[in-house]
Amino acid sequence: MERRVLYDPGKVWLIDMDGILRPLKVVAAGGDLRMSVLARLMREDGHDVSVFAAEDAPAASPPLRAAGDADLARADLVVLPLPAIDAEGSINAPFSSVRISPEKLFSGLRRGTLVAAGMVSESLRAAAVRHGLRIEDYAAREEFAVRNAVPTAEGAIEIAMGMLGVTLHRSRALVVGFGRIGKLLALKLRALGTDVTASARKYSDLAWIDAFGCRALRTSALAEAVGQFDIVFNTVPARVLGRAELEVLRPEAPVIDLASRPGGVDMDAALELGREVTWALSLPGRCSPVTAGEIIRDTVYNILDETAGAAEIRGNNNENNT
| 100-121 residue pLDDT tens | 999 999 999 999 999 999 999 9
- Indicate if the pLDDT at residue 56 is higher than 70: yes
Domains and CATH numbers, the chain: 3-140+289-306 (3.40.50.720), 145-284 (3.40.50.720)
- Indicate if the pLDDT at residue 193 is higher than 90: yes
Which band of pLDDT confidence, cut at 50, 70 and 90, is reported for residue 306? confident
Bridge partners for 277 per DSSP = 255
